[in-house]
């Protein structure tokens, strides 16, 4: 069963004993984050803070903080299904002849069900706020040395200025004042690419920040999908049903109709300010760096919205479980490009981007290097610091087994490759 929004997700988690309601008053300034860190490090439940100081909006966090919760949210236990659906779509042949076309009708009909569908209105259009402000939302400050409050689980919606292909990405945003926030668009991210194209044209880019919605769409925003794949379509592939969208009021973008809150605005390429520091998922503060500014122009929301957020820090926190699902869901795609790959793991302690372990069915000398180089050139895997390739008798998900293989089978002089000046 597809979970359609945050309210349904809360109910499903509560029914499964995976959610705790906190009725005691809590503060967005460090207190909620500290409670969440202790909860996450103790493998605790999702938490719904119902009494947030100075706000009439509850805060939901750690909703994706276990494999069980992700299974509930995505409606599946085998996450490789997601990647396999994409692989199957690439193999679909256009039928010739009336008989073959008739045979393909059920399959083509199912394909049509995953495309987004534009609606006139939806739950997120219940309230159109004429005086939008970041100060109306219980955005957290999570670490003492953070530069301020950061949106950490906003789904940032843009569209390619030339092709119109839509993107959803999760990029942190530092709130500057009630109308402005800094957009942490790293150069290798698709949202930044859209921004750069607009900048070259001398134009600002319209952006929508989506808070909440169904778990599959949230996951789709985080997942690094193949270049050229519309993220709204990918959400439909993940959900196995197309998402419903509505038009924004102040910008020309469509957003999920089942969101809790939508913040509308634009990013001006000429308005650059210092962002940070920020306590990041590596366990260290990222320093101050220049990033473009988002200006808020509109706000839509439900009558009683829930603010969905997360916190990051030294692993293992909520993002580790999302990373494991991404790892599993994209295994079929990796095999499509590298057929000799048997299994694939990105250890949580390596904050996923830091290390990848791959097992292969080796047939010839140097094959491990071929696989490693191929994966290093594949999308976001280009940012991976360390690749370890092992034989297919090694369990890549058992770090002890991997260490045993390294220490008994590796010749460091022969088997180690160092690539200088690579982006990580």
For the annotated catalytic residues, the residue numbers are 280
Q: How many Å apart are CA 236 and CA 69, to the nearest integer?
A: 20
Residue among 246, 291, 305 nearest 150 (CA): 291
How long a stretch of residues is the chain? 424
DSSP 140: P
What lies within 8 Å, CB to CB, of 382 at 6+ separation is 188, 376, 422, 423
Rounded to the nearest 10°, the torsion over CA 166, 252, 219, 319 is 110
Asked if residue 317 has a cis previous peptide bond (ω within 30° of 0), the answer is no
Cβ pair 168, 231 in contact under 8 A? yes
User: What is the full DSSP assignment across 208-273?
Assistant: EEEE---HHHHHHHHS-PPTT--HHHHHHHHHTSPPEEEE-SSSS-EEETT-SEEEEEEEEEEEEE
Q: How many Å apart are CA 28 and CA 135, to the nearest integer?
A: 12
Cβ pair 183, 293 in contact under 8 A? yes
Q: How many Å apart are CA 154 and CA 212, to the nearest integer?
A: 8
């Amino acid at each position: 069963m597809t979970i359609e929004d945050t309210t349904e997700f809360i109910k499903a988690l509560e029914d499964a004993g995976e959610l705790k309601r906190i009725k005691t008053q809590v503060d967005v300034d460090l207190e909620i984050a500290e409670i969440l860190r202790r909860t996450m490090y103790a493998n605790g439940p999702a938490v719904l803070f119902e009494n947030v100081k100075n706000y009439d909006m509850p805060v939901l966090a750690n909703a994706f903080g276990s494999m069980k919760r992700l299974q509930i949210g995505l409606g599946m236990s085998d996450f490789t299904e997601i990647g396999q659906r994409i692989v199957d779509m690439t193999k679909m042949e256009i039928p010739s002849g009336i008989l073959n076309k008739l045979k393909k009708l059920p399959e083509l009909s199912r394909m049509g069900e995953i495309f987004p569908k534009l609606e006139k209105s939806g739950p997120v259009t219940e309230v159109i706020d004429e005086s939008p402000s970041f100060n109306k939302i219980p955005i957290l400050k999570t670490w003492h040395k953070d530069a301020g409050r950061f949106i950490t689980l906003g789904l940032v919606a843009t569209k390619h200025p030339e092709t119109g292909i839509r993107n959803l990405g999760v990029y942190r945003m530092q709130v500057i004042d009630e109308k402005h926030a800094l957009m942490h668009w790293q150069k290798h991210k698709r949202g930044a690419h859209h921004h750069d194209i607009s900048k070259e044209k001398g134009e600002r880019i319209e952006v929508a920040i989506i808070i909440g919605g169904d778990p599959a769409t949230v996951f789709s925003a985080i997942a690094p999908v193949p270049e050229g794949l519309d993220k709204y379509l990918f959400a439909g592939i993940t959900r196995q049903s197309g998402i419903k969208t509505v038009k924004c009021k102040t910008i020309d973008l469509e957003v999920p109709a089942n969101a809790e809150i939508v913040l509308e605005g634009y990013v001006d390429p000429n308005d650059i300010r210092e962002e940070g520091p920020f306590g990041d998922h590596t366990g260290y503060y990222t320093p101050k760096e220049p990033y473009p500014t988002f200006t808020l122009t509109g706000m839509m929301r439900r009558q009683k919205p829930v603010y969905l957020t997360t916190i990051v820090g030294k692993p293992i926190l909520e993002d580790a479980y999302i990373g494991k699902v991404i790892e599993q869901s994209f295994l079929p795609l990796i095999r499509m490009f590298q057929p000799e790959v048997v299994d694939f793991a990105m250890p949580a302690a390596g904050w996923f981007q830091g290390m990848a372990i791959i097992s292969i069915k080796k047939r010839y000398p140097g094959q491990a290097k071929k696989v490693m180089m191929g994966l290093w050139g594949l999308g976001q895997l280009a940012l991976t610091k360390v690749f370890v390739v092992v034989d297919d008798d090694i369990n890549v998900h058992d770090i002890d087994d991997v260490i045993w293989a390294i220490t008994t089978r590796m010749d460091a002089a022969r088997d180690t490759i160092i690539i200088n000046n690579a982006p990580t």
